[in-house]
Amino acid sequence: MNVLLWHVHGPWTASFVRGRHSYLLPTTPLRDDDGLGFGGYDWSATARQVPAADLRHEDVDVVVLQRPHERYLARDWLGRDDVPMIYVEHGAPTGDVPDTRHPMADEPGITIVHVTRFNRLMWDNGQAHTVIIEPGVADPGARCTGEIPHAAAVVDEPIKRGRATGTDLLPGFTEAAPLDVFGLRTDGLAKYLGVPGDRLTSTDLPPAQLHEELAKRRVYLHPARWTSPGLPLLEAMHLAMPVVALDTAGVREVVPPEAGVISTDPAELRRALADMIADPGRAREAGLAAREAALRRYGLQRFLDDWDRLLGEAAVRP
């Protein structure tokens, strides 16, 4: 099956294109957000970069959308409007929650795929057909050593996104443990928050190096108020890192009690961070429980099997 999709969410796409289909990623001359192609990833084993102008010559079976305007790009670039479309919603609503209507709620024939039960619950999906396909992760192995007595967090655009990602809570967490923040556009985070550089560092790393550095830290911190428990959390659990997390946005479904500490009380989470840093044995035990839970629920093959079923259904839908 030929599947057209855009490079919007790199880690998710890295899992998606490991399936048994042929995946087409558009490119534009400027390599802008609508034409990134591989965008620095090596997906050549199962995916192809295709210039947008050449897409009308491709035999596309299904289009996987991730942004509302992509449905118009697909119809324009393919030169046809009869290709089945599926919309992947990666996030929780950001408008007038819980009354935010999903942009695909009134698009007939487009299935909305939510990545968590929480997200499907919080969006107003109208009468659209919705399914849940939780993320899947290629197992990086139980690599956590905890040799660096720091907490680690992966937060993209923490300054821009602010309270949604729990950025305002980070200074308090650095009082309990030194914190290393990884993610897109994290430069200057310590200065922005007024935190000493020896208590908070920030950097952006490629996936392979990110796993290596995460695994050296003793505990993974998930400070987000209003973002899905996404792939970085699942990858940290696969690495066998213990988790300290805000009890928000469905995180309790992801992280079992034995895998760490979950609470809506930042003070309790600060104490948990300090305890994990001070007790490597407890951190190791919780990390192994986190890994077991991640392998059981968020394996790559389950993810690909779920998508095989949905893509097959979409391709034969009248």
Domain containing residue 216: CATH number: 3.40.50.2000
Q: Give percent of the chain above pLDDT 70.
A: 99
Q: 255 and 128 share a domain?
A: no
**pLDDT of the residue at 175:** 97
Q: Is the same domain home to 84 and 15?
A: yes
- Give the up-direction half-sphere exposure of residue 153: CA atoms within 13 A in the CB hemisphere: 30
The answer to the question of residue 260 being in a domain is yes
Q: What is the pLDDT of residue 318?
A: 57
Residues 170 and 224: beta-carbon distance below 8 Å: no
Nearest partner of 88 among 145, 157, 158, 4, judged by Cα: 4
β-strand partners of 24: 4, 48
pLDDT digit string, tens, across residues 95-122: 888 899 999 999 989 999 999 999 999 9
Claim to verify: residue 280 and residue 304 sit in the same structural domain: no
pLDDT band at 228 (very low <50, low <70, confident <90, very high): confident
Please indicate, yes or no, if residue 278 is contained in any of the structural domains.
yes
In a domain, 141, yes or no: no
pLDDT band (50, 70, 90) for residue 6? very high
Instruction: Report the Cα 147 to chain-centroid distance in Å.
Output: 26
How high does pLDDT run on average in the chain? Answer: 96
- pLDDT tens, position by position, 187-197: 999 999 999 99
- H helix runs in the chain, sequence order: 10-16, 70-78, 117-122, 158-161, 170-176, 189-193, 207-216, 231-238, 251-254, 266-278, 280-297, 300-316
Instruction: Identify whether 99 is part of a domain.
Output: yes
306 lies in which domain range? 2-136+300-316
Mean pLDDT over 149-178 rounds to 97
Q: Are residues 83 and 158 in the same domain?
A: no
Q: Model's pTM, two decimal places?
A: 0.93
How many independent structural domains does the chain possess?
A: 2
Burial-class residue 230 by CB neighbours within 10 Å (0-12, 13-18, 19+). Answer: buried
Residues 157, 95, single domain; the answer is no
Do 260 and 293 fall within a single domain? Answer: yes
Q: Note whether residue 306 is domain-resident.
A: yes
DSSP letters along 212-275, please? HHHHHEEEEEE--SSS---HHHHHHHHTT--EEEES-TTHHHHS-GGGEEEES-HHHHHHHHHH
* Whether residues 112 and 158 fall in one domain: no
143 falls within a domain:
no
pLDDT at 115: 96
pLDDT above 70 (res 317):
no
Provide the 10 A C-beta neighbour count for residue 216: 16
